Chain A
């Protein structure tokens, strides 16, 4: 431990503070003076030494602050501008804006970053109230804060740049008491990036929400589509069935009646044909509106088909009440039908079905109402008919027929029988007509009369026709394979008009020919006159396309329908079949003789083969031969037979 030199030791015992200005060289004078009075000479010297030392330090650049006593204001510190350089560097270069405000809110200092945020220079800011640069004026937090020195807090606000842009910032505020006044020191953190990120997140979640809404909307639209008719906005069949179900369930408790009104516009097809579909559609829309207008709001109006509407009425008193409502509906529709420009009223046939105390089910009620509607239509239309016991029997038959047919189609129990067609000049079998039969599960055969009408009406004739076509083509191809030397046998298949509706008939036929290998010219297709009664252009096109495949077309039951002779010319036909009613009249008088003669002559002149149907007696056969008919078929030759029996009769084909 170093000992202090004696000279300094001596100083160390001086009772009062003293300074040693010229420390290096001179250990001067006056240091040994011990006076306590402030203004003694040594004291003054000490002061002077201190002053000298200060001057020296100033000269050497070793001082950056001075403390001055001002009796009015207390002590104040003055610092050299270089002294706060580190602070300034820090404040100048920081990434946040910074400013100090006077007590009255004027900007005393601003860093470059703040000027950048405000898109101006610092000179544009200093001396102005900060409120000038804050959107919506100075934040209130700033003012409150000024009164509570020493605390710091943060406020979010938006700076208003001179460009007019708004810059979101987080303002850090701290307060400083200087010389009895308050200074506010502010930092400004730019929140633009964060805000835009927030906005982006908000936007994304909004987009997501919109997408969800869109999805929900689409789902709702799908539901709407699935349950409503697009033309009229009315419930469709599916929704109607639901509603009838609900109504029946309710009626079971209330013991009231539920009525279903099946409304079909009369001759609506003609409206479409004559006035066009646009007019037809607007008629449907008007009917829809009108029905909704007349009915109680609790009732349901549905559109379940082209011109078919159904009204469901809850809480009906009785069957009589239902008839009353139905009649009123028919009258209302007749009265308010100024729809057609030619003044022709659009009327409706209405079928009524009533369920008492919820008995039955929706499908049965609809079937009953449908049957009653047909009844109204057959009585001339523009009326309401109620379903009764007689109709009930018809409906039961029809629906059991439909079930039987459907299950036969499903189980592939539909099998064609074949009836030979004889060339009257050679006496040989030239081919067969395929005729649909159903084989019951017990093996018995159901005649066509039991299901053809049901098939036509229900549309099941389309799959039925396709199955017969397929079986017949395959069968004919197989016979031809078995009899390679003889003249190839043809097969004739009946077409129903509904088979043309889907527009795919030509391709179905082409496929059958390709898959079975049957030559097109050996397939004959027969149309009834009624099938072509309203021959549409598209049907004629399909027939031409079928003819172009090489398939021969013929007109069945000629003379029974309403078809005019022009059909014979317009259609790409190869043969006509003379209806059996004429053939069977042969020999019973001159009339049928003349008709058959005329048809045969007409066919010959048009270059069509004539085929007599339903030949049962030798006399009829003789007459056909005499009249020059080309072919014939009938019980006289053979009844329709299962395919298995055909090979046996082919060799005996000379009659």
Chain B
């Protein structure tokens, strides 16, 4: 599989969370749901506790937690917050608005 194919078919996401806080838990649950429901499972998700990996804070330029980083498909994009506003998240991930959920399909 070429990288172009990968771009089309897969999402690479990293979620930075602040340990086992409530917001972390909520953000993790939200991103998992989005992966399952809107991305059809075509999603590689890495969750990083920002206390555990200070190095990646630097390279990713993380300022707060929770922060979701979309590495692929490009462009790289950061989304700050607990990911509870699904519409915003889908936009940031470049998932078409009209797509699958019956609720959003007008």
Contact = CB atoms under 8 A, between A and B. Distances in A.
B75 A64 contact: no
Contact of B21 (A3, A8, A57, A85): A85
By CB atoms of chain B within 10 A, which of A9, A53, A58 has the most? A53
By CB atoms of chain A within 10 A, which of B9, B20, B64, B73 has the most? B64
Contact of B50 (A13, A19, A65, A80): A65
A85 B95 CA distance: 34
Contacts of B63: 50, 54, 66-67
Contacts of B62: 67
A67 B57 contact: yes
A1 B68 CA distance: 23
Interface string B56-79: 011000111110000001111111
Nearest to B72: A12
A3 B64 contact: no
Contact of B81 (A4, A14, A17, A63): A63
Contacts of A16: 75
Given A1-B8, A53-B80, A62-B81, A84 B21 contact: yes
Interface string A395-415: 000000000000000000000
A87 interface: yes
Contacts of A595: none
Nearest to B23: A64
B18 interface: yes
Nearest to A49: B78
Contacts of A62: 23, 66, 80-82, 84
Contacts of A77: 18, 50-51, 54, 57, 65
B87 to A, nearest CB: 6
A164 interface: no
Contact of B23 (A67, A74, A83): A83
Contacts of A84: 19, 21
Interface in B30-67: 40, 42, 50-51, 54, 57-58, 62-66
Contacts of B19: 79, 83-84, 87
Interface string B11-35: 0000000111111110000000000
Contact of B94 (A12, A54, A67): A12
B36 to A, nearest CB: 15
B72 to A, nearest CB: 9
A64 B7 CA distance: 32
State the majority secondary structure of interface residues on B. Answer: loop
A651 interface: no
Contacts of B1: none
B51 A12 contact: no
A2 interface: yes
Contacts, number: 134
B75 A67 contact: no
Contacts of B42: 1
Interface residues of B, number: 45
Contacts of B79: 23, 53
B91 interface: yes
A11 interface: yes
A1 to B, nearest CB: 7
Contacts of B100: 2
Listed from nearest, the 10 A-B pairs whose CB atoms lie closest are A65-B18, A62-B81, A83-B21, A8-B94, A57-B81, A65-B65, A17-B76, A62-B82, A23-B91, A14-B75
Given A1-B42, A12-B94, A17-B75, 19 more contacts: A1-B40, A2-B96, A2-B100, A3-B96, A4-B94, A4-B96, A23-B91, A23-B92, A24-B91, A56-B81, A62-B23, A63-B65, A64-B23, A67-B65, A74-B54, A75-B57, A79-B21, A83-B24, A85-B22
Interface of B: 7-9, 18-25, 40, 42, 50-51, 54, 57-58, 62-66, 73-82, 84-85, 87-88, 91-92, 94-97, 99-100
19 contacts: A1-B40, A4-B73, A11-B75, A17-B75, A17-B77, A18-B77, A19-B77, A57-B80, A57-B82, A62-B66, A63-B66, A63-B81, A64-B23, A65-B65, A82-B22, A83-B22, A83-B23, A84-B19, A87-B20
